């Protein structure tokens, strides 16, 4: 049985990480930039995130040069989304 970073949480499969690239990732990045909490917005380089979205949309060429692109961007995006969720009021 494999170990995971979060106790009791599922371990993402390697192929699922590789699928996290291309246009779906670009849309997810752009949505996160639009929905940034003001406190998070002060800490995050919005322009860099938008450049990453452009790179993700053009993932065919970029993925060949850096196979971990989707993984590293997805990891950063999860952290941003968690901060947004934590700071945003619940309905």
Instruction: Return the pLDDT at 6.
Output: 44
Residue 52 CA to residue 55 CA, distance in Å, equals: 5
From CA 20, how far away is CA 29, in angstroms rounded? 11
Render pLDDT for 54-82 as a digit per residue (tens, 0 to 9): 988 886 555 556 778 888 888 999 999 99
Is the sign of the CA dihedral 31, 68, 85, 44 positive or negative? negative
Mark out the alpha helices in 1-91 (DSSP H runs).
Answer: 14-18, 23-34, 38-41, 46-57, 59-65, 69-87
1-57 residue pLDDT tens: 444 444 454 554 544 444 455 788 889 999 999 999 999 999 999 999 999 889 888
pTM listed for this prediction:
0.66
Question: Which residues 6+ apart lie within 8 Å of 84 measured at CB?
Answer: 32, 35, 36, 37, 40
The pLDDT of residue 88 is above 90: no
Nearest alpha-carbon partner for 28 in 84, 73, 64: 73
């Amino acid at each position: 049985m494999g170990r995971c970073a979060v106790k009791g949480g599922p371990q993402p499969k390697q192929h699922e990480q590789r699928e996290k690239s291309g246009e779906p990732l670009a849309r997810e990045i752009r949505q996160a930039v639009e929905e940034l909490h003001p406190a998070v917005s002060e800490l995050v380089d919005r322009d860099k995130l938008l450049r990453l979205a452009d790179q993700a949309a053009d993932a065919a060429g970029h993925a060949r040069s850096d196979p971990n692109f989707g993984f590293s961007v997805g990891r950063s995006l999860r952290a941003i989304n968690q901060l947004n969720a934590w700071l945003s009021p619940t309905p």
